[in-house]
Amino acid sequence: MNEIVIQLEEITPKEFFGAGNENIKLIKKHFPKLKIVARGTQIKAFGEEELLDEFNRKLKMLVKHFIKHKRLDENAIERVLTSNTSDDYKTSTKSGETIVHGVNGKLIKAQTANQRKLVELMRNNDMVFAIGPAGTGKTYTGVALAVQALKSKEVKRIILTRPAVEAGENLGFLPGDLKEKLDPYMQPLYDALRDMIAPEKLTQYIENGTIQIAPLAFMRGRTLDNAFVILDEGQNTTHAQMKMFLTRMGKNAKFLLTGDPGQIDLPRRTVSGLKEALLVLKDIDGIGMVFLDDKDVVRHKLVKKVIAAYRKIENIEA
């Protein structure tokens, strides 16, 4: 049986291994065909040469991450061990420049390879589609880009919109006027903004119309000039709604459309405007498309597992 011995230098093994050797246990799960032993400042692995080479390469990447960030958590381990190449990992973990300085000094950055691709596409295109499952940072990264554009005076206003499709709920039974009924539905957009703009300033922006948050139906008949416009939950648009929205684009406008084709709440047999647009517009210059996946999930570690579990069921049912 082949053997490899890796000597840990410049780091404290106990911190690298994690409490109760949690990090080593997670690494072992990714290499079930190897026997891995971690003692003192050494990590030994036994098994097939090809697997040992991969293990050696991945472990060195983890060590570099630990040295740079002074910590190693489950998300970082997952990103390293599931990346296809060293370059892929460098792209996915490269902090890059800050998109925007948030509230209380929070630095908002693209955290994964596809989020960075989204940032680049928005710089080079006036219209971008960001497609992917829940938790991949589509909307959050988009809102950060919109706030950046507003602060740098590239645009004069931010417009955030969603199709008011009731996901198994009836908005009509909620108390209050139309705004009060819709505000909870728009909450994810408010949440992102609160991370990036101080409360007093955000209230001022909303009151004077610099930032507008409204259901998609309110976009009809408007020409959106000098604006960064985000259509969230685009999978719940119909053909007519999507066409209406896309043709609202005015001078000096940036359009970002996000959505998850796996979470369509439209009535049965209704074609998703987002799915249709991806096919119709895929060859048009000036329109960018990025497809995020499970590796881009930046929420709780269980979200990836939930997405994967449901995907299995949906594939069986299909």
Q: Are the CB atoms for 159 and 229 separated by under 8 Å?
A: yes
- Per CATH, domain 96-317 is 3.40.50.300: yes
pLDDT digits (tens, 9 = 90+) for 85-118: 554 444 444 445 678 888 887 888 888 889 999 9
pLDDT score recorded for residue 209: 93
Average pLDDT over residues 294-314: 74
Average pLDDT over residues 159-170: 67
**Residue spans per domain, the chain:** 2-92, 96-317
Q: Nearest Cα to 259, choosing from 290, 296, 228?
A: 290
pLDDT score recorded for residue 317: 54
CB contact burial 197-231 (16+ within 10 A = b; e otherwise): beeeebeebbeeebbbbbbbeebeeeebeebbbbb
Distance in angstroms (rounded) separating the CA atoms of residues 290 and 282: 11
Q: Which residues contact 281 (CB under 8 A, 6 or more apart)?
A: 129, 287
pLDDT at 38 over 50: yes
The confidence band for 46, taking pLDDT boundaries of 50, 70 and 90, is: very high
The confidence band for 318, taking pLDDT boundaries of 50, 70 and 90, is: very low
pLDDT score recorded for residue 108: 87
Q: Are strands 254-259 and 127-131 parallel, antiparallel or unpaired?
A: parallel
The confidence band for 307, taking pLDDT boundaries of 50, 70 and 90, is: confident
Name the 3-class secondary structure at 38. strand
For domain 2-92, the CATH architecture is 2-Layer Sandwich (3.30)
Distance in angstroms (rounded) separating the CA atoms of residues 92 and 56: 20
Hey, what amino acid is at 276? Answer: E
Mean pLDDT of the chain: 84
Q: Are the CB atoms for 219 and 163 separated by under 8 Å?
A: no
pLDDT score recorded for residue 168: 39
Q: How many other C-beta atoms lie within 10 A of the C-beta of residue 49?
A: 9
